[in-house]
Amino acid sequence: GAGVSQSPSNKVTEKGKDVELRCDPISGHTALYWYRQSLGQGLEFLIYFQGNSAPDKSGLPSDRFSAERTGGSVSTLTIQRTQQEDSAVYLCASSTNNQPQHFGDGTRLSIL
């Protein structure tokens, strides 16, 4: 597709389970970002990839959170042993050539 694609669009899981969120960036975009938006809050930066490397992981809230990117394209964000405070909308963005970041529609994660 032409835009950033995220899957699943919604995920409901029990506390303590692991979840994996996927992001397909715009083709050719070298930079990829993960953000999350908790209820009533702004977007919070999590991690930034340039190619397959992550020069900035400063926003990952704990070691339960990890992300990888392979082939300079698809990225997965993994949350282990989910907690209720992990409930949020997780947004992925991509960009290239000093252009603004383009966002996907996000994954709404609910932890029961």
Residues that bind another protein (CB under 8 A): 4, 31, 33, 35, 40-45, 48, 55-56, 58-59, 91, 93, 95-106
The 3-state secondary structure of 35-91 reads EEECCCCCEEEEEEEECCEEEECCCCCCCCEEEEECCCCCEEEEECCCCHHHCEEEE
Q: Which among 6, 7, 9 has a CA at the least distance from the CA of 102?
A: 6
The residue (of 79 and 89) whose beta carbon lies closer to another protein is 89
- Work out how close the CB of 102 gets to another protein at its nearest, in angstroms, rounded to a whole number: 7
Residue 16 or 61 with smaller CB distance to another protein? 61
Of the pair 52, 101, the CB lying nearest another protein is at 101
